[in-house]
Amino acid sequence: RVYGESSHKAMTSPSPTHSVSSSSSKHDSNQDSWEIVEGLKGVLASMQEPDRQEGFLLKKRKWPMKGWHKRYFVLERGILTYTKRAIDVCITTRAKLHGCIDVGLSVMSIKKKAMCIDLDTEDNIFHLKVKSPELFEEWVSKLRHHRVFRQNEIAMYPHERHLFHPHSSSSPSLNDSLRKVDLQECESYLLELNLLLKSMELFHRTYSAPAISALQIPSCISSQSPHLHASNPNLSTSDSNTQEVCPESPDSPTDVSQLQEDFCRLANNIHATLKSTFSSLVAERDRLRLTIDMQVPQPAQVVGLKTAYASVRGSNSLVHQVSNDSKASIPESISEFFDAQEYLISSSSSENEVSDDDSYISDVSDSISMDTFSNEGGSERHNSVSSVVTHARRRSTLPSPRPSSSVSLWNILKNNIGKDLSKVSMPVQLNEPINTLQRLCEELEYSELLDTANQTHDPYQRMVYVATFAISAYASTYHRAGSKPFNPVLGETYECDRPDKNLRFIAEQVSHHPPVSACHSESLNFTFWQDVRWKNKFWGKSMEIVPMGTTHLTLPAFGDHYEWNKVTSCIHNILSGQRWIEHYGEMSIKNVNSDACQCKITFVKANSWSSTVNEIEGVVTDSKGKVVHSIFGKWHESIFQGDPPSATCTWRANPMPVDQEQYYGFTQFAMELNELDATLRLLLPPTDTRFRPDQRLLEDGNTEGAEEQKQRIEQLQRERKKVLQDNNMTHLPRFFKKCNNDTWVSNNTYWELRKDPGFSKMDFPVLW
């Protein structure tokens, strides 16, 4: 649902000089802070089209590159496009056009001292920089004018407002032209494909040729669609080169290979272009549904259609999404209407796509039994300490479904553009009943991969399992973009003792500002530890989470010590609508005790012209850099090793619980993390997360009580901090110690103190 005033609301149209506000609400008087550029404050009867603006600007490189590069920008009718060269401006093909931004639907913020301009378009964050103060003022002035003009255009003619592809952030006219180009390309491909088919039929009458149904996908397709194999790993490749010329009739049996390659290439091109056009049309259909929903009052026919549509689609329907979001508070200005514009259904969400799992489950072999990797029902592990383990029955659902929320995020976050949100107190309605310390424990859901690694003698294959484990740590985030975990207070702890998984885990919040969470897990087959710090930055419609620190893992059977970094995460549609999360960047894994092999995993960033999301690609190389194993797949579904069609599945995510959407998108493992029974209650220290009253109340569905307790707990933390400052004291963590390299490791006292039990005899601060 769109947060904002209804654009068709009857309003008086004052003179243009008084109806448009181009002022900015400053965070503070310092020019070094970010300024949010406000937009339309009223609906105009007419407005003069602003002059075209163009020229070179510096644009921050998208991942994985760093630094800035020069691009040629053109601002026309509120649409900002950019290319590499000025000569490419008039060319609207995808090869020449690098990006397109609707400034009317973007959150715009500026920093005068640094001469920076940021535009958050939900799917991408564009960081621009101008070289001179005069040019900076000129561009900012033009952007203000164009932004208000574009917002006025949308407000005046909402029924003529064109819709965007969810991943393109491009202008209406551009999308229309791109769809036309797509269809024209398809028509050309089909004509060429028809000629190829006739040539192949002629060849069949002349030579004994292999059937088309037995064709293998050639390397030309792999080069054009480098991620195609992630969705279809059973497709094989050949080494033959692609030639664009289609022979009218083959003269020898060798010509059939080229015919087959050209046939497959054209078929793939048709599929890609039609898929792009289809995605754009789906976005338009959904946006039209939204436009109908915004009509007040709604005709009886529309209400009837919505009811019928909801009964067919069920709880995931757009109607339900709109009705749930309708409880949100409405911003007071049309500026917020545009700044909070959302796409209700993002093409990045696999809930809106047909899952491609079934296409390769039977064709790609599973080198390891999926039963070994199952976490359902607390099944016995193959490396359990004893041959028979009695497992406690764990809960399969939370005490209460997620309550509805009426919080306006924009009102909370609008003054925090470009700032670190770690110091911003958020209402409890935005939380999920789980803690950051427990989130760290979630990364061990698929710890059986490490058990297998510790029993694998081949160092290259061992690295494959370690890399797969590192990737699997992101799987639980796929369904969790709609809420955030509770922030631990200083001194808070969490333990997880899982005999069924043959591991135990301890975590502690060792620093408050900056927030640092340290954890340590041990098993017969591995030791795992890390301390995690984050930088959270809000850019208007998206929030970037940049992790710092290193993850460590040791395998005792081989003396291996692995280290790796985490990648950047970004939550899109942060203000309203359906939020979704993506991870992008490069993860580098090395064994510090051996240079025999290393691994690099790329979390692919979804780009403007592709519907592929959540994909990873990686290689394991030897000491000379030669590729030994390749890894591919999707971080939320499954990971494969090798080359299609002989690739083997090394990991597949556990199925989600029934009605997971009503329970914060928790996996079964996450459901169990905050469970507290009478026996466990006696063994835990009073600082354990499971004793937090605000988190427990939210789990029970009591948001008012949870908010009251959350504020009380935060106030207690402030008071403890003041006492430390007044006495010139520093906080000393109980179960972790700081090393010389500024990392935190376990002091190995927790489980010894837990015996007896021993925590009942110790003094702990009153955290809540």
The domain that holds 112 is classified in CATH as 2.30.29.30
> 546 lies in a domain?
yes
pLDDT band at 343 (very low <50, low <70, confident <90, very high): very low
Q: Is 475 strand, coil or helix?
A: helix
Predicted confidence at residue 183, as pLDDT, reads: 65
Q: Is-contact 247 255, C-beta < 8 A?
A: yes
Cβ burial, residue 648 (10 Å; 0-12/13-18/19+): middle
- Please give the distance of CA 505 from its chain centroid, rounded to a whole number: 27
Question: The whole model's pTM is what?
Answer: 0.63
CATH of the domain at 625: 2.40.160.120
Signed CA dihedral, 466, 469, 471, 473: sign only:
negative
Domain boundary among 105, 138, 156: 156
Residue 185 — pLDDT band, cuts 50, 70, 90?
low
pLDDT computed for residue 293 by the predictor: 58
Kindly report the backbone phi and psi dihedral angles of residue 267, in degrees, each rounded to the nearest multiple of 5, phi listed first. Answer: -60, -40
Q: Is residue 649 one of the residues assigned to a domain?
A: yes
- What average pLDDT does the structure give for the chain? 74
Helices (H), 157-254: 172-206, 219-224, 228-231
Dihedral sign of CA atoms 470, 472, 473, 478 in order: positive
Nearest to 563, CA basis, from 628, 467, 444: 467
How many CA atoms lie within 13 Å of 498's alpha carbon, on the beta-carbon side? 28
Tell me how far the alpha carbon of residue 733 is from its chain's centroid.
Answer: 33
Q: What are 162-183's pLDDT values in tens digits?
A: 444 333 334 444 455 555 556 6
**Is the model's pLDDT at 230 over the cut of 60?**
no
Q: State residue 283's pLDDT score.
A: 60
**pLDDT reported for residue 299:** 59
State the total domains in the chain: 2
pLDDT (tens digit per residue) in 483-516: 889 999 999 999 999 999 999 999 999 998 889 9
Q: What is the pLDDT of residue 26?
A: 42
Q: How far is CA 449 from CA 372, 555, 634, 707, in A?
A: 9, 12, 17, 39
Within a domain: 417:
no
Range in 253-267, 298-312, 410-424, 728-742 with the lowest mean pLDDT = 298-312
The pLDDT assigned to 593 comes to 95
The H or E element that residue 36 is part of is strand 35-37
Residue 361 lies in a domain: no
Q: How far apart are CA 447 and CA 444, in angstroms?
A: 5
Within-domain flag for 268: no
CA angle centred on 295, ends 293 and 296, rounded to 5°: 115
pLDDT of residue 214: 40
For the cut 90, the answer to whether the pLDDT of residue 565 exceeds it is: yes
Look at 5-9, 26-30, 77-81, 658-662 and tell me which has the smallest mean pLDDT.
5-9
Range with lowest mean pLDDT among 185-199, 254-268, 305-319, 435-449 = 305-319
Spatial distance between the Cα atoms of 422 and 417, rounded to a whole number of angstroms: 13
Is residue 648 scored above 60 in pLDDT?
A: yes
End residue of a domain, out of 135, 156, 177: 156
Q: 253 near 307, Cβ under 8 Å?
A: no
Q: How far is CA 389 from CA 169, 378, 502, in A?
A: 54, 10, 10
Q: Average pLDDT of 625-637?
A: 95
**E-strand spans in 232-306?**
none
Share of the chain above pLDDT 90, in %: 36
Given 156, 173, 207, the domain boundary residue is 156
Q: Under a CB-based contact definition with an 8 Å cutoff, are residues 36 and 59 in contact?
A: no
Cα–Cα distances in angstroms (integers) from residue 81 to residues 46, 52, 171, 374, 575, in the given order: 25, 12, 9, 48, 25
Q: Distance of CA 591 to CAs 205, 335, 700, Å?
A: 59, 52, 44
Place of tokens 């080229």: 258
Task: Quote the pLDDT of residue 205.
Answer: 57
Burial of 390 (0-12, 13-18, 19+ CB in 10 A): exposed
- Give the chain's length: 768
CA–CA separation, 182 and 165 (whole Å) = 14
- Encode pLDDT of 105-161 as tens digits: 888 888 888 899 988 877 678 889 998 889 999 999 999 889 888 888 777 765 444
pLDDT at residue 301, rounded to an integer? 60
Domain with 130, as residue range(s), is 34-39+47-156
Q: What is the pLDDT of residue 11?
A: 36
List the single range of 31-35, 285-289, 627-631 with lowest mean pLDDT: 285-289
In the predicted structure, residue 375 carries a pLDDT above the cut 50? no
In angstroms, the Cα distances linking 553 to 249, 396, 521, 523, 527 are: 60, 30, 9, 11, 6
Please state the rounded mean pLDDT for residues 277-303: 61
Any domain includes 70: yes
Q: Is the model's pLDDT at 46 over the cut of 90? A: no
- What's the CA gap between 467 and 459, in Å, rounded? 12
> Which residues fall within 8 angstroms of residue 54, CB to CB, at 6 or more apart?
72, 73, 74, 75, 86, 89
Q: Which residue has the tokens 């290979």?
A: 257
Give the span between the Cα atoms of 216 and 266, in whole angstroms: 14
- Is the model more confident about 276 or about 603? 603
Partners of residue 333 on adjacent β-strands: none
Residue, of 409 and 521, whose pLDDT is higher: 521
The tens digit of pLDDT for each residue in 545-561 reads 889 889 999 999 999 99
Segment among 411-415, 514-518, 603-607 with least mean pLDDT = 411-415
Residue with the bigger pLDDT between 227 and 512: it is 512
pLDDT in tens, 457-485: 999 999 999 999 999 999 999 999 888 89
Through-space distance between the first and last CA atoms of the chain, rounded to whole angstroms:
37
| pLDDT for position 323 | 36
CA 438 to chain centre: 20
Neighbours of 336 (CB within 10 A): 22
Confidence at 199, pLDDT banded by 50, 70, 90? confident
- The letter for the amino acid at 419 is K
Residue 436 lies in a domain: yes
523 in any annotated domain: yes
Segment 75-96 shows an average pLDDT of 71
